[in-house]
Amino acid sequence: MAKRGFPSLTAYLIATGSSQSDLAKRIGVGQSAVNQWLRRRRTPKPHLALKLHRLTGVPFEVLLRKRPRRQPHRVPDDAEPGTPPLQPSSEETEPPAHSPKERSP
Protein backbone atom coordinates (compact mmCIF):
# COMPACT_ATOMS: atom_id res chain seq x y z
CA MET A 1 0.00 0.00 0.00
CA ALA A 2 1.17 3.52 -0.66
CA LYS A 3 2.70 5.33 2.30
CA ARG A 4 0.49 8.33 1.68
CA GLY A 5 -2.96 8.30 0.13
CA PHE A 6 -3.95 10.85 -2.50
CA PRO A 7 -7.51 12.01 -3.18
CA SER A 8 -7.19 11.51 -6.95
CA LEU A 9 -4.82 10.33 -9.65
CA THR A 10 -4.33 13.95 -10.68
CA ALA A 11 -3.24 14.86 -7.15
CA TYR A 12 -0.81 11.92 -7.17
CA LEU A 13 0.74 12.99 -10.48
CA ILE A 14 1.14 16.60 -9.35
CA ALA A 15 2.56 15.75 -5.91
CA THR A 16 5.04 13.21 -7.24
CA GLY A 17 5.95 15.10 -10.41
CA SER A 18 5.09 12.00 -12.43
CA SER A 19 3.75 12.06 -15.96
CA GLN A 20 0.88 10.01 -17.36
CA SER A 21 3.50 7.91 -19.16
CA ASP A 22 5.39 7.27 -15.90
CA LEU A 23 2.22 6.06 -14.20
CA ALA A 24 1.25 3.96 -17.22
CA LYS A 25 4.63 2.17 -17.19
CA ARG A 26 4.37 1.45 -13.45
CA ILE A 27 0.88 -0.04 -13.87
CA GLY A 28 1.56 -1.84 -17.16
CA VAL A 29 -0.83 0.03 -19.47
CA GLY A 30 -0.55 2.59 -22.24
CA GLN A 31 -0.47 6.34 -21.60
CA SER A 32 -3.81 6.73 -23.40
CA ALA A 33 -5.49 4.48 -20.79
CA VAL A 34 -4.23 6.72 -17.97
CA ASN A 35 -5.42 9.78 -19.89
CA GLN A 36 -8.91 8.30 -20.23
CA TRP A 37 -9.01 7.50 -16.51
CA LEU A 38 -7.98 11.05 -15.64
CA ARG A 39 -10.66 12.49 -17.93
CA ARG A 40 -13.15 9.93 -16.52
CA ARG A 41 -13.98 8.68 -20.00
CA ARG A 42 -13.27 5.14 -18.79
CA THR A 43 -12.60 3.42 -15.50
CA PRO A 44 -9.74 1.00 -14.86
CA LYS A 45 -10.49 -2.72 -14.75
CA PRO A 46 -10.61 -4.09 -11.19
CA HIS A 47 -7.11 -5.63 -11.26
CA LEU A 48 -5.67 -2.32 -12.50
CA ALA A 49 -7.67 -0.36 -9.94
CA LEU A 50 -6.05 -2.53 -7.26
CA LYS A 51 -2.57 -1.74 -8.62
CA LEU A 52 -3.43 1.98 -8.77
CA HIS A 53 -4.76 1.93 -5.22
CA ARG A 54 -1.66 0.17 -3.89
CA LEU A 55 0.66 2.57 -5.71
CA THR A 56 -1.17 5.85 -5.08
CA GLY A 57 -3.51 5.28 -2.14
CA VAL A 58 -6.38 6.74 -4.18
CA PRO A 59 -9.65 5.21 -2.84
CA PHE A 60 -11.39 2.60 -5.01
CA GLU A 61 -14.57 4.71 -5.03
CA VAL A 62 -12.64 7.49 -6.76
CA LEU A 63 -10.86 5.20 -9.20
CA LEU A 64 -14.08 3.51 -10.30
CA ARG A 65 -16.26 6.63 -10.48
CA LYS A 66 -17.50 7.49 -13.95
CA ARG A 67 -18.35 10.94 -15.20
CA PRO A 68 -22.11 11.45 -15.06
CA ARG A 69 -23.84 11.61 -18.40
CA ARG A 70 -25.03 15.06 -19.34
CA GLN A 71 -28.74 15.53 -19.72
CA PRO A 72 -29.67 16.80 -23.19
CA HIS A 73 -31.10 20.29 -23.39
CA ARG A 74 -34.77 20.11 -24.24
CA VAL A 75 -37.56 22.39 -25.28
CA PRO A 76 -40.82 21.90 -23.35
CA ASP A 77 -43.67 20.49 -25.42
CA ASP A 78 -45.82 23.56 -24.79
CA ALA A 79 -43.09 26.10 -25.66
CA GLU A 80 -43.63 28.64 -28.40
CA PRO A 81 -41.60 28.20 -31.60
CA GLY A 82 -38.12 29.68 -31.30
CA THR A 83 -37.87 29.11 -27.53
CA PRO A 84 -34.28 28.15 -26.56
CA PRO A 85 -33.71 24.77 -24.88
CA LEU A 86 -33.89 24.58 -21.09
CA GLN A 87 -30.61 24.21 -19.22
CA PRO A 88 -30.44 21.20 -16.89
CA SER A 89 -30.97 22.12 -13.26
CA SER A 90 -28.02 22.06 -10.88
CA GLU A 91 -29.50 18.90 -9.35
CA GLU A 92 -29.20 17.09 -12.70
CA THR A 93 -25.54 17.91 -13.28
CA GLU A 94 -22.33 17.50 -11.38
CA PRO A 95 -19.66 20.21 -11.49
CA PRO A 96 -16.94 19.49 -14.07
CA ALA A 97 -13.76 17.84 -12.91
CA HIS A 98 -10.97 20.31 -12.33
CA SER A 99 -8.01 20.01 -14.63
CA PRO A 100 -4.57 20.16 -13.08
CA LYS A 101 -2.84 23.52 -13.02
CA GLU A 102 -0.10 23.98 -15.54
CA ARG A 103 3.36 23.65 -14.10
CA SER A 104 6.09 26.04 -15.10
CA PRO A 105 9.30 24.40 -16.41
pTM for the model stands at 0.60
Residue 5 contacts residue 53 (beta carbons within 8 Å): no
pLDDT higher than 60, residue 41: yes
Q: What's the CA angle centered on 26, arms 16 and 49, to 5 degrees?
A: 95
pLDDT in tens, 64-90: 887 766 666 666 667 677 766 666 655
Parse the chain into domains and list their residue ranges. 9-63
Please state, in angstroms and rounded to a whole number, the distance separating the CA atoms of residues 5 and 47: 18
Residue partners of 87: CB distance under 8 A and separation at least 6: 73
Residue 1 pLDDT > 50: no
Topology of the domain comprising 9-63: 434 Repressor (Amino-terminal Domain) (1.10.260)
